[in-house]
Amino acid sequence: MARAIDVGTCFLVGAYKENSEDVFTIGRNAFFSMPSEDFADEMLKRAGAYFITRGDRFYVVGEDALKFSVITGNQDDYRRPMARGVLNPGEEEAVAMIEVLIEGIIGEASFKDEPLAVTVPAEPIDADFDTTFHRMVLDRFLKKLGYKVNFISEALSIIYNENPTVEVNGEEIPFTGIGMSFGAGMVNIALAWRAKKLLDFSCSRGGDWIDVEVSRVTSMPTSKVIAYKEKSLDLGNVDSSNRMAVALEIYYEELIRYSLEMFSNEFKRKNTAVEEPMVIAIAGGASKPPGFIPLFEKVLKETHLPIPILEVRHAEDPLTSVASGALIAAESEEAKMESAAAEPAEEPETPEEPEPPTAPEPPAEE
């Protein structure tokens, strides 16, 4: 059975099929550190908290980490293994914690070389770091769990799942459009034609950037900004007397504008030429607040992209759309493996070229 995992800065989302339906396991990609004390482990167990012990510290992981931070007002000990879409170089427990959290989401492979599609950010165009270390750590750990690992970019996963199309001479071209993943650490953007990437890059701003800026201008702890954003923010109905809501609206608008400008600049730099009106398919946890799409459309009209836009489409579930797209890639890889296993041991002396598929299926990225 093929599996997928969206390794996001804020959330981890695992996906597999059961009775032809996608099944998701979602966990917050965070931990809260506290000193080891007598009886504390027993009380945490009774309270149902998921935690591990390392040395003289307890690490409460997942959703309970944010709850501890909000309740105690302690944001120094609320930590995350990832920052800006990749493993956090400033967090000494990053590798150990991400391994614990990932294993809790997908577990070990059910058989050797079970296909697993893993989302990773594209290389950033506005920051001086790459994704190599992040990829290698995930690859080695997931192989230890027994998986055959295939990496796929976040934004391309959205295109796989949402399947935007364009019409050319009366023909509908599938898996063709713009995917934008608004995550906590980054915004990932891809332009694809028939599931093949023409552009694929990331911007180093995301939901975390919004949280930090809002915390700075309102003097509110970041954990409380996150909690408000996730539970109460409505970008289509902002109370002008609520400083936090106003600040969130301002920085959301700035993030959208920045991302679209980065896309416009990269499109022009690559000398890409597209005349057909395209769909922008949007997903990612940072796009979840009500009113996000109307705000995006407002900024889009002001930005004047060098490409015609047919419509803006929001994923039905912005948090799981990326994992669903990655699962499509994993299932494609699984089908290839099964087909290869079913082929006879000896190939004919003069093999014929394979017929092109009647319906294109997006391939898993290596």
298 φ, ψ (degrees, to nearest 5): -65, -45
Q: Residues with Cβ < 8 Å from 93, sequence gap 6 or more?
A: 31, 33, 54, 59, 79, 81
When pLDDT is cut at 50, 70 and 90, the band that residue 346 belongs to is low
pLDDT at position 364 over 60: no
User: What residues contact residue 275 under an 8 Å CB cut-off, 6+ apart?
Assistant: 308
pLDDT at residue 114 above 50?
A: yes
- Alpha carbons 166 and 108: distance in angstroms, whole number: 40
The pLDDT of residue 365 is above 70 = no
Its pTM stands at 0.87
Residues 154-205 have pLDDT tens digits of 999 999 999 999 999 989 999 999 999 999 999 999 999 999 999 999 999 9
157 or 349: which leads in pLDDT: 157
314, pLDDT greater than 50: yes
Could you report the per-residue pLDDT of 214-233, keeping only the tens digit for each? 999 999 999 899 999 999 99
Quick one: pLDDT at residue 39?
A: 45
pLDDT of 353 over the 80 cut: no
Residue 276 pLDDT: 92
Residue 316 pLDDT exceeds 90: yes
More confident residue, 356 or 142: 142
Q: What is the DSSP letter of 9?
A: S
Q: Write the pLDDT tens digit of every residue in 255-294.
A: 999 999 999 999 999 888 888 999 999 999 999 999 999 9
Cα 13 from Cα 26, distance rounded (Å): 5
Categorize the per-residue pLDDT at 57 as very low, low, confident or very high, splitting at 50, 70 and 90.
confident
Least confident of 40-49, 203-212, 330-339: 40-49
The strand pairing partners of 17, in sequence order, are 22
| 38 compared with 90, residue with greater pLDDT | 90
pLDDT, averaged across the chain: 89
pLDDT at res. 56: 73
Write out pLDDT tens, residues 17-35: 999 999 999 999 999 887 7
Beta carbons of 162 and 172 less than 8 angstroms apart: no
Amino acid 35: pLDDT? 78
pLDDT at residue 46 in the model: 53
Tell me the domains of the chain and their CATH numbers.
3-29+80-338 (3.30.420.40)
Share of the chain above pLDDT 70, in %: 89
What distance in Å separates the CA atoms of residue 47 and residue 206, rounded to the nearest whole number?
Answer: 33
Q: Sorting pLDDT into bands at 50, 70 and 90, what band is 359?
A: very low
Give the DSSP letter string of 175-229.
S-EEEEEE-SS-EEEEEEETTEEEEEEEES-SHHHHHHHHHHHHT--HHHHHHHH
* Selected residue with higher pLDDT from 215 and 70: 215
Q: What is the mean pLDDT of residues 116-138?
A: 93
